[in-house]
Amino acid sequence: MRVGQWVLVTAPMDMRAMVRGSDLMLGIGSDSVISLQRLDGGRTISDGESGEMAMNAIEIVLDGGLLSVDVIARTAHRYTGDYFVETVSTPSGALVRLTPKMGSISSHLLAERFRNDALDERLRELVRAETGELHTALVRAALHQAAPPLTTADQKQ
Amino acid sequence: MKFAPRQAFAGDNGYRLLPLRFRRLPWDESRVLVTSMAGDWLIAQREEFERVVEGRLDRAEPLFAEMEARHLIAADPSHSTLAPLLSQYRTRKSYLEHGPALHIFVVSLRCHHTCAYCQVSRQPVGNTIFDMSEATAAHAVERLFEWPSPTLTVEFQGGEPLLHFARVRALVEAIEQRNRSEGRTLRFVIASTLHDLTDEQLAFMRDHQFELSTSLDGPEWLHNANRPRPERDSYQRTVEGIERGRKVLGEDAVSALTTLTRRSLEAPHEIIDEYRKLGFHSISLRPLSPYGFARKTEGRNGYPMADFLQFYEVALDHLLAVNRAGYFMEETYGRMLLSQLLTPFSHGYVDLRSPTGAGLGAVVYDYDGRVYPSDEARMLASMGDHAFALGRVDESVSAWLDSPAMQRVLAAGVAEALPTCADCAYVPLCGADPIDHYARQGDTIGHRPTSDFCRKQMGLFDLLLQRWEQGSATDQRILEDWALRATRRGIAREAEAA
Amino acid sequence: MHKLDAKVQLDGWAQPTLLKVATLPEFASGLFPLERMVLDLRDPRVRTAFPTLSRLPWAGFVVNDPEQAPVGRPWVAIPPEKLNAQPGDVIEVVPETSKAALRYRRGANNNILFATERCNSFCLMCSQPPRDIADEWRIRQICALIELIDKNEPSLTITGGEPTLLGSGLNCIIEHCANVLPHTQLHVLSNGRNFGGGVLASSFTGLHPALMWGIPLYGDHYGLHDYVVQSKGAFAETMRGLYALEAAKQRIEIRVVLVKPVVEHLLALVRFLYRNLPFIEHVALMGTEPTGFARAHHDELWIDPADMSAVLAESTDYLTRRDMRVSLYNLPLCTLPRSLWPYARRSISDWKQHYLPACKSCAVRERCGGLFAWVTPEWTSRALKPALEGEEQCASH
């Protein structure tokens, strides 16, 4: 049980140290780190970079009012399997440029899919804000076989 | 006695979110799968779910009670309790309580076959230096009983363990002898081609209630193509071995699994029909992994994960048809995933756990005395990479747990903490495989968008959930039966490797 | 329906006394002290042996008529039409009120040890409305009663009110059962609300070899359960209590009274049981007893069992496929689909069991649990009708 507790509660915090410096990292939130290194030597995201646009790249404009940098970065990360991804800050939000890695990748309705995914990431951001600490406390409590003092009903015991 | 109406017990208005994750259904983007920390779940309209997250769900809506019951939200804290959620979580992770239950003894690397996809780096039949020595075996038995698990599954592997049966026999006797003072529940399994089984070997295995696990890739033409022997009769000998094994040890004592090559992917119906013909009620459709000779012959035998998923879908539908016609047959990996979707219990397989099963659920004692947290780690070592060797059998178990290899595994072994996994709706049901990610991507943490492991997992979860959710009542029942049998009370299936 | 007590003629008793009714077998077995037994002179064979037996130190004698009572010895007259007191039964004679009461009945389908009238819940359908009264005296009485119960009695039920309100008195009773009646299964009905702390639950670990707790749960969220038991916080307390009992290695049955709001949500409840309490041994789905508080709430509570068929079938199927045993209590067979007949039990205590005139010709009357004696038309299913000859075979399942 001790090993289990160490793994489930302490390891996530130690994990940050495991990501190598050579990766481009965005510190996101309090408990996880997104690594955006292209493991096959592809291009990395960098803010502000805007080089020549490739012929088959698709550009998506995103409104910063609704979608935070964090949300956009996490969404972009989901596409780094099939696409080279660049994000560029704009006065009103961000511009995301997606270049398919292979000709066979279908970019049908790509902008719509990206926006949908970004809206999902926004919901996830809300969930994380409300439940992040609770999650750690609950896991700890579960492994210690004791209820946490989080509900007054539980506290009466 | 004045009685109060229902509204009097509703408690304070409002609610808070409990840790939850969600995924839009690939087959219906207007709905989402929402999972709790412990793996309970429901499917809701995405619009409604958005209202839930934004705090705009009304108590009177049916969704409110459904989310409360699954511990996705909590209403008035003075009336609620989190005890059920904690209990569900402990139940799901109950394998953590006991330490490794699966112990693999590689008694020899020698083998008669030359399978192109061999993950083992086999050796020719005559090279006895690749046998496990008496001294190594003795140390391994010592280490075995240092683990606290009340059930120990001892699995003999190779090469071909029958080629060094003397070692198998000696180990069984030593373990049982030692167990007289330990009182653990022992299970013996042998992973073998079952070729050239002698009556003596069979009698010994019967006396110790062995379970036999063998490879059967499909009908004769496919099996022999995948698994060449100089005599070219692997299929014949396998079938013979299965029959003899059943006769002496019982009908249920022999199980079989496939390894799928590119050739195999073209024959889903034929493979399943072959298993049915031979009277199997369980089939394991395993894709290739990137180890051993499989890595070397990837060009010829390999295939993208998308192809495997397509194959699996066809195979699954054929299996459902077979079951509908009255013949029970389950696919073991699918059954494990369904048991996670449809039951609150942990499963016995070490392959799909978070924290990872490597080292925590399984240990491998190699013929040369080296010890590994999983079969995959051993395969990597045989390819020259010892990053995940825990140590040697003559060291203590605590030394292994403190080793850099173990630290490396643990640091990336919690799926809930890995990027992308952390947000995935399936994570409470899924697992971490740092060694697989290291082998495929060079990094234990891995990059999910390009991860074949992730692609396989998500593809299978999506497929099974869709078939269950949208299937006929008959199909739903079939899939549920797979899951429910797996977690049936009284059947202690403590640990297996899928 | 039988009476459990009656006004009788008696003499020679100083205070309320528990007594086992004895004839020749009870005498011969030597299992109970003669000083706590009354010799049953209503039995002709006993009368024949009376000259020999009379000298022994019996507590007293049972007769049909005061004239048959032996001179100078305590006696009680219990003719059959007054009270059905049989050999092996335990009666209590109460001199102040001149009453005899049946406290234990050999061969009955349901012998109750009544722990207390106090309760900390106020269920809408409570059949035993609570009274806040100091009744710890029951602990001693129950222990005395236990000593006179047949050693081969298959099972006993401890109920109330809420038995855990007796505190350590409940442990005493259970331990006494374990010592005196080691082969008797013990079923304790409790709302489980006092077990959450863990200390109480663990006090029962290993106390009795065959102990099971029957605990009601009415919903998968507090809003429904707390309403049915009319107590805020009850659901949370009961859930915590259930986990404490599990940790203390106690066996648990969940009981669900099928009142309308519960039935409307029953499938969700059984799913909740599987997902959150997979360790429970048994689920009892129970028809409402139309007495006590239930009568005041007919409109909120009543749902015709005939309208529950689909939900009951689906719930039973859901649980049994997941290896949870299910029983249906208090539901006449004619109100259940044939496929559920194997799960129906003759659960109503025989002394309060009743059949309607319509039941006279029913082919399965012997297997059916019938109805509660206090049933009225508004608590009777429209589906009530006798099964025909040939319908006795239940559907294979």
B185: which residues sit within 8 A by CB, 6+ positions away? B150, B151, B152, B492, B494
Provide the pLDDT for residue B498: 39
Mark whether B291 and B324 lie in a shared domain: yes
Q: Chains meeting B at 3+ CB pairs closer than 8 A?
A: A, C
Cis peptide before C161 (omega within 30 of 0): yes
User: Is residue C206 helix, strand or coil?
Assistant: coil
Provide the pLDDT for residue A37: 36
- CB interface of C with A, residues 142-201, below 8 Å: 196-197
Q: What is the pLDDT of residues C314-362, one digit of tens each?
A: 999 999 999 999 999 999 999 999 999 999 998 888 888 888 888 888 8
Tell me the mean pLDDT in the region C233-249.
97
- Alpha carbons C54 and C47: distance in angstroms, whole number: 10
Interface B:C, Cβ pairs < 8 A? 86
User: Is residue C18 helix, strand or coil?
Assistant: strand
CATH topology of domain C112-379: TIM Barrel (3.20.20)
pLDDT at B476 over 90: yes
- CB interface of C with B, residues 218-277, below 8 Å: 220-224, 226-227, 230, 232-233, 235-236, 239-240, 243, 261, 265, 268, 271-272, 274-276
pLDDT at B489 over 70: no
Mark whether B144 and B167 lie in a shared domain: yes
pLDDT-wise least confident of B304-308, C184-188, C392-396: C392-396
| ipTM rounded to 2 decimals | 0.92
- Find which of A7-16, B104-113, B201-210, B415-424 is predicted with most confidence, using mean pLDDT: B201-210
The shortest C-alpha distance from B22 to chain A (Å) reads 8
**What is the enclosing helix (H) or strand (E) of B469?**
helix B452-470
When pLDDT is cut at 50, 70 and 90, the band that residue B299 belongs to is low
Q: What is the pLDDT of residues C182-197, one digit of tens each?
A: 999 999 999 999 999 8
Q: Which of B72, B92, B112 is the last residue of a domain?
A: B92
Q: What is the pLDDT of residues A15-40, one digit of tens each?
A: 443 333 333 333 332 223 333 433 23
Mark whether B55 and B121 lie in a shared domain: no
pLDDT at B260 over 50: yes
Considering CB atoms only, which of C226, C230, C271 is closest to B3? C230
Q: What is the pLDDT of residues C257-299, one digit of tens each?
A: 999 999 999 999 999 999 999 999 999 999 998 888 888 889 9
Mark whether B31 and B138 lie in a shared domain: no
Provide the pLDDT for residue A21: 33
User: Is residue B272 helix, strand or coil?
Assistant: helix
Q: Which of B355, B384, B400 is the last residue of a domain?
A: B400
Q: Is residue B398 within 8 angstroms of chain C, CB to CB? A: no
- Find which of A24-38, A91-105, C86-100 is predicted with most confidence, using mean pLDDT: C86-100
Provide the pLDDT for residue C388: 82
Q: Chains meeting C at 3+ CB pairs closer than 8 A?
A: A, B
Tell me the mean pLDDT in the region B44-49.
98
Mutation site for A-interface testing, chosen from C120, C200, C240 by largest number of A Cβ within 10 Å: C240
- For A152, nearest residue in chain C (alpha carbons): C233
B73: left (phi over 0), alpha (psi -120 to 50) or beta: beta
pLDDT-wise least confident of B27-31, B316-320, B361-365: B361-365
Cis peptide before B355 (omega within 30 of 0): yes
User: Residue A154 and residue C236: Cβ atoms within 8 Å?
Assistant: yes
Residue B175 lies in a domain: yes
Residue B30 lies in a domain: yes
CA-based radius of gyration for chain C: 23
User: Residue B1 and residue C129: Cβ atoms within 8 Å?
Assistant: yes
Check if the beta carbon of residue B464 is closer than 8 Å to that of residue B391: no
Mark whether B152 and B26 lie in a shared domain: no
Provide the pLDDT for residue C1: 66
Residue B447 lies in a domain: no
The mean pLDDT value of chain B amounts to: 91
Residue B494 lies in a domain: no
Mark whether B85 and B217 lie in a shared domain: no
Tell me the mean pLDDT in the region C169-174.
97
Q: Which position has the higher pLDDT, B300 or B136?
A: B136
Q: Is residue B62 within 8 angstroms of chain A, CB to CB? A: no
A145: which residues sit within 8 A by CB, 6+ positions away? B90, C247
- Alpha carbons C345 and C352: distance in angstroms, whole number: 15
pLDDT at B208 over 90: yes
Range of the domain at B76: 6-92
Which CATH number goes with the domain that contains B265? 3.20.20.70
Provide the pLDDT for residue B490: 42
- For B481, nearest residue in chain C (alpha carbons): C321
Q: Which position has the higher pLDDT, B265 or B293?
A: B265
Residue B427 lies in a domain: no
pLDDT at B315 over 80: yes
- Alpha carbons B363 and B385: distance in angstroms, whole number: 18
- For B8, nearest residue in chain C (alpha carbons): C227
Provide the pLDDT for residue B292: 54
- For A157, nearest residue in chain C (alpha carbons): C197
Alpha carbon separation from B37 to B90, B297, C144 (Å, rounded): 11, 41, 51
Q: Where are the domains of chain C?
A: 5-102, 112-379
Considering CB atoms only, which of B40, B480, B488 is closest to C323? B488
Quick one: CA dihedral C133, C139, C142, C144, positive or negative?
negative
The mean pLDDT value of chain C amounts to: 93
Provide the pLDDT for residue C397: 42
The shortest C-alpha distance from B342 to chain C (Å) reads 9
Mutation site for B-interface testing, chosen from C227, C276, C321 by largest number of B Cβ within 10 Å: C276
Q: Is residue A141 within 8 angstroms of chain C, CB to CB? A: no
Number of domains composing chain B: 2
Residue B441 lies in a domain: no
Residue B313 lies in a domain: yes
When pLDDT is cut at 50, 70 and 90, the band that residue B466 belongs to is very high
Mark whether B143 and B225 lie in a shared domain: yes
Provide the pLDDT for residue A38: 32
When pLDDT is cut at 50, 70 and 90, the band that residue B308 belongs to is very high
Mark whether B125 and B85 lie in a shared domain: no
Tell me the mean pLDDT in the region C56-74.
94
- For C131, nearest residue in chain B (alpha carbons): B1
Q: Is residue A102 within 8 angstroms of chain C, CB to CB? A: no
Provide the pLDDT for residue A36: 40
Q: Which residues of A touch C193 (CB under 8 A)?
A: none
Residue B424 lies in a domain: no
pLDDT at C209 over 90: yes
Mark whether B326 and B271 lie in a shared domain: yes
